[in-house]
Amino acid sequence: MKLAVIGRGLIGAAAARHLCKMGHEVALIGPDEPADFAHHNGVFGSHYDEGRITRILDSEPFWRQMNRAAISRYGEISAESGVEFYREVGVLHAGPGERSDVASIGKIAAEAGIFCEAYDDTGLAERFPYLGFAAGMQGYFEPKNAGHISPRRLVRAQTIAAERAGARIIAEPALGISEGGSGVTIRTRSGNVEAERVLVAAGGHTQSLLGQSLGFTVYGRTVAMFRLDAAEAQRLAGMPSMRCFGPKGENPYILPPIPYPDGHTWLKLGGDPVDLPLESEADIKDWFRSGGSIPVADGLEKQILGRIPGLDFQERRVVPCMTTFGTTGLPCIGPLSERVIIAFGCYGKSAKCSDELGRLGGMALLGEVRAELAP
């Protein structure tokens, strides 16, 4: 079957790989990463980065299933592409012990068969001496099938693997879609692409590309990056990825020191205290070109200095990204019409499990849909 996938990001590239391996003719459509955010006038993505937390543990069974399935195929994706993108450094889930979401972690992990080491505040200080923990803190360390991935390298790996399996890569944005009786026409700058069916996996751009709301809201997010010298990176060399539980604005996620393409090592922190809706395509582009929120980054800097006492960083960088939220807690994967299928809306959870979400998107394109995910 002649198919097209719009969106050369995490989910779209994964879908293309799976569909090609099933023997279908696939065109994967989407531009390369912008070289200059401030002057870019096309589409943006949130995978232009080297650090995303990956783990199996989640409070929701659906996401645990997605995580487990995707992580089990990391080795397969690397083997097919020759690109490494995963480091198993573990994930520390930590917060005040009296919080219900913290107290429930041990039970969820036990019921799901996820091994975690449990620590009280004293144990946390002994196990992770470079981190700061207040009295009453409780932590659960997930050491296996957990750590961090490079979303940028994962997209590269999926794209290479898809191309090796027969995909045609069209490194341009989709400008429009029109559906006819015999197929779908996708308009690009260099001409039209014809397909029998199309999967739209364009992240925050999905609704604007389709010209209709599907009940999801795109939010602008700000990440703060802290550049470390060699000595500080070495001091924190054993650091895991972290999920910090607390009230909104005091619940950051933290990535350990990671080498970046610029030759430096950066520690990353995210977790916005407020939601910033991006209500149009113009809003999305303006947000990425703006460089993110300095006040949010200031708050994140205070958070990191409290979480890692004595942190010595050389430079701070502020980076914008976006997430897409609905009302069900589940992504939207299913048919919009007979020939147009969508896969998006992942609540900031999709990087680690994007291979399984892409596989589900590919199956939806072929007519197999999980009822709870359909729009």
**pTM (predicted TM-score):** 0.96
Residue 51 is encoded by which pair of tokens? 């650090």
Tokens 């232009």 belong to which residue? 48
Instruction: Tell me whether strands 217-228 and 197-200 are parallel, antiparallel or unpaired.
Output: unpaired
Q: What is the CATH number of domain 2-56+61-68+150-215+328-373?
A: 3.50.50.60
The pLDDT-based confidence of 198 (bands split at 50, 70, 90) is very high
Average pLDDT over residues 240-269: 96
May I ask the CATH class of domain 86-149+217-325? alpha beta
The pLDDT-based confidence of 296 (bands split at 50, 70, 90) is very high
**320 and 270 Cβ atoms separated by less than 8 Å:** no
Q: Where are the domains of the chain?
A: 2-56+61-68+150-215+328-373, 86-149+217-325
SS3 content of the chain, % helix, strand, coil (to 5): 35, 30, 40
Question: Which of 305, 294, 288 is closest to 272 using CA atoms?
Answer: 294
Q: Which helix (H) or strand (E) holds 276?
A: strand 276-278
Partner residues linked to 334 by β-bridges: 342
Question: Which of 289, 291, 292, 298 is closest to 276 using CA atoms?
Answer: 292
Whole-number pLDDT of residue 35: 83
Note the pLDDT tens digit of each residue in 14-32: 999 999 999 999 999 999 9
Tokens 């996708």 belong to which residue? 186
Whole-number pLDDT of residue 207: 95
